[in-house]
Structure formats: structure tokens, C-alpha cells
A and B are shown apart, each in its own frame.
Chain A
Amino acid sequence: MPEIPQKKVGIIACSGEEIAEGTVTRLAALKVLHEMRRGDTVTLCLPLFLAGGEGERTFARFYPTITVDGCRLRCAARATERYSAQPAESIVITEVAAELGIEGIANRRNLNESGRRAVDATAEIIAGFVDRLLEKKDLDQERDGESAQVGAQTTPGTCSCGSGIQVSNLEIDGKLTKVIALPILMEQFNMEGRPADQAVAIDLLAQARVYNKVPLESEPGWLAAIQQEYASYCCAKRGKS
């Protein structure tokens, strides 16, 4: 069976609202996500591990995660480990600041100069971890290539949690059902040249089951819907090539 390709890194910031370092975690995570490693990273709201649902907890099964905490309580790192999986890397802003000699981080609402320096320094560290986790060698070249590829594809839906995990909305037994990770699984199968037959539907379902609850009695409906979705996916791919 194919494995889900490790294409993205998840960044989980504590966002601690009480302290300025919490704001640093948030802004550093967003800087990496939107500016420095766009396309290579996704973010996840920490509370959704508990309040969200399976989609959030599934996240760490897909992607390695980097947690970014404001203080030594390490809420993001500990909660991620407790509710999902061990983070690949953990950063604590107070430690980063101490190591780099950044003093006086203040103003949680509008960070002062020290806070902004901490954001930049932390974002650099996170970006370095992302590159290492993705084993990037020629970053610019790969990023350009990936951007071009993404631009050429239709944009699939993502999980409502905002994590960026791709989902397919399928009608299964008359109900609209979100199937987490199906787009990325179909991509993998398509790259392997698998035809849209029943055998592929069985294999896709087996993989999808890791990330979705599939009631035994609904299995025939899931198989039919997945096979049809994969056939459409392959058709769309062929049309573009």
C-alpha cells in the first residue's frame, strides 16, 4: 500500500494570549506559513485537538509537527504530544530569546522591537526545521516547481479545522460525507498509474480508513463513491496532461 507523501510540516503555536511571547509564537508561525515556507507548511489551532475532532487529531498522523511555545509551560508541545503525536521539533520563545540575547519582549498586542526581532529569529528557526524535515536540498528550485504544480491543479477542499488537510466531499448512501485525506491518497495512486477499478477502490478505502471512521455496514457505499471519485480524478488529470 502506498504511504501518504510527507509534503508538509504542521506548525502549532501556543498563541498564548496573556503574554507577549505568545504573540511572538503566533506571528512567527504565520510568517513561515504565509511568507517563508508557503506551500510547505500548514498551521493548526491548538484547542481543536480537544474541541475539534478526529480531523485535528489525524493531523499529526499526516505531517511532522513543529510546536512553538511562548513560555516554559510548553502548552503546545505537551498538548500535541498528549492528544496527537510527539512533535518533530519544539521551540520555546523564552529560550530562543535568551540564546540570542533578545531582552525585553513586551506588548502582547503590538509587539515592541525586541518582540519583532524574536518573531524574525523564531521564524528563521522554524523555516530551518521545515527544510530539514522535508529534506529540501535546492529550496528555491523545489519551491518554484511546487508552486507551478499547485497552480496547475484544481484546489481541493480542506478540512474545516483550517489545518489544510485535504478532504473530498462524497455522497455516500445519500449523505454528503467528508473523506479526510482522499485527495492526497488519490494523487499517490494516480502517480503509480493505478486504473480506476474496483481493486483500487478497495486499496483506497483501506488507506482512507486510517483517517476516517467507516462503519462496516457503509462499506459498499464508500467503495462505490471512492471508485467514482477516483475515476473523475483520473479523468481530470488526463485532461490536463
Chain B
Amino acid sequence: MMNKSGRKMVVVPCSGIGKPFGTVSREAAYNLVEDLRPDATRLVALSKLVLGDEEARATVAASPVITIDGCKMNCAAKMVRESGGTIAKEVAVQEIHRQHKELRPEGIAHLNPEGQQLARVLAEELVTEIDALDRTDCKEEGSHA
């Protein structure tokens, strides 16, 4: 089943392996594409964009993209832009963490419950954005018809 507008939004989390925030970004992406909006979203691996994989570049160029970054380097957002993609929503895990300081993520290979909760909160906030963008898409398609 597809979303209302008929096109899936691409989600690109960062591949951060040095800090728990990177794992939160990955977990939030899985929350979105597997649990919350499986019909409206799909993942693209950041490593493919780093390499310049043509298929991955075409995918991010063809759909609105949500990037989730785990550190100030903003690798996911930078790589999507360099790959010709249009970012519909750019999120930094730290920003969400600032609003939910009680959810302190720990563990890189295995996130603690607080980290998992932070990922869930982030994903739920993105759901609102995704649904709003989906409605906009539908209206635009309707106005073209």
C-alpha cells in the first residue's frame, strides 16, 4: 500500500558509529520506515551516497528526503544535497535531545531504553511532518489535475 500521494519519502539517517547519537538516528529511521509509516517512507543507505551510487542518487533526487543526523557534521544532509536531493526535513538528534534531556542515550551497539525512547520521540515528530508533506503533495497533484 502506498501513501496518499503515491510516492515514498526517502529517509537517510547518518551512519555515525562513534557516538550514541548516531545509533539514535539509525533507530529513529527504523521506527519511521518499519513501524510508523512503512507505506510512506523508504530508507537509503548513506554509504551508497558517499560512494556516488547512481541508483541511490536517482532515488534521493526523485523524492523528498528526510535526513537525520547524529552530530554537527551533518553528513546525511550534506550528502543528500551533494547527490542532488531535495531535503524536505533536516533533523539533528541533538536538537531533539535538548528538548528531552531526561532521555540520555547511551550505548552504540545497543542503545539503552532512554536512547530508544529518544529515537521514538524523534520519529513521532517526523510523522507529523511526513503527513503534512503528504497532504501538500496530494493538494498539488489535485490542483494539476
**Quick check: B50 and A50 within 8 Å, CB to CB?**
yes
Residue on B nearest A82 in the bound complex, by CB: B51
Q: Is B88's beta carbon under 8 Å from chain A? A: no
Asked whether, in the complex, the Cβ of A29 is within 8 Å of the Cβ of B76, the reply is no
Complex Cα gap A27–B26 (Å): 13
Within A1-47, the residues touching B (CB, 8 Å) are 13-19, 22, 26-27, 29-31, 34, 43-47
Contact residues in B for A78 (Cβ distance below 8 Å): 51
Name the A residues within 8 Å of B50 (CB-CB).
Answer: 46-47, 49-50, 75, 79
Indicate whether A76 reaches chain B with its CB closer than 8 angstroms.
yes
The answer to whether A98 has its CB under 8 Å from any CB of chain B is no
Report which of B47, B53, B82 forms a contact with A46, defined as CB distance below 8 A. B47
Looking at the assembled complex, report how far the CB atom of A174 sits from the nearest CB atom of chain B, in whole angstroms: 24
Tell me if A48 counts as interface (CB < 8 A to partner B).
Answer: yes
Q: How far is the CA of A72 from the CA of B48 in the complex (A)?
A: 12
Tell me, rounded to whole Å, the shortest Cβ–Cβ distance linking A26 to chain B: 6
Q: Specify which chain A residues have a CB less than 8 angstroms from the CB of B18 in the assembled complex.
A: 43, 45, 161-163
Residue of A nearest to B13 (CB): A17
Chain B residues lying within 8 Å of A162, measured Cβ to Cβ, are 16-19, 71
Task: Say if the beta carbon of A240 comes within 8 Å of chain B.
Answer: no
**Residue among A16, A47, A162 facing the most chain B CB atoms (10 A cut-off):** A47
Number of interface residues of B (CB under 8 A): 33
If A45-B22, A46-B15, A109-B30 touch, whether A75 touches B73 (CB-CB below 8 Å) is: no
Whether B14 sits at the interface, judged by CB under 8 Å, is yes
Residues in B with CB closer than 8 Å to A108 are 30
- Asked if A148 is at the interface of the complex by the 8 Å CB criterion, the answer is no
B29, CB-defined interface residue at 8 Å: yes
CB distance from B19 to the nearest CB of A (A): 6
Interface footprint category on A: 35 or more
Tell me if A51 counts as interface (CB < 8 A to partner B). Answer: yes
- The contact string, 1 if C-beta is below 8 Å from chain A, for chain B 70-81, is 010111101100
Chain A neighbourhood of B48, CB < 8 A? 16, 73, 75
Q: Are B78 and A45 in contact (CB under 8 A)?
A: no
B46-A17 in contact (CB<8A)? yes
Cβ–Cβ contact A47 & B79, under 8 A: yes
User: Which residues from A are CB-within-8-Å of B74?
Assistant: 51
B45 with A50: CB separation less than 8 A: no
Chain A residues positioned under 8 Å from B125 (CB to CB): none
Query: What are 27 A-B contacts defined by CB distance under 8 Å?
Result: A13-B17, A14-B45, A14-B47, A15-B46, A16-B47, A17-B29, A17-B44, A18-B45, A19-B45, A22-B45, A26-B17, A26-B109, A30-B108, A34-B108, A34-B109, A43-B18, A44-B17, A45-B14, A45-B75, A47-B14, A47-B50, A51-B74, A52-B73, A75-B53, A76-B47, A162-B17, A163-B18
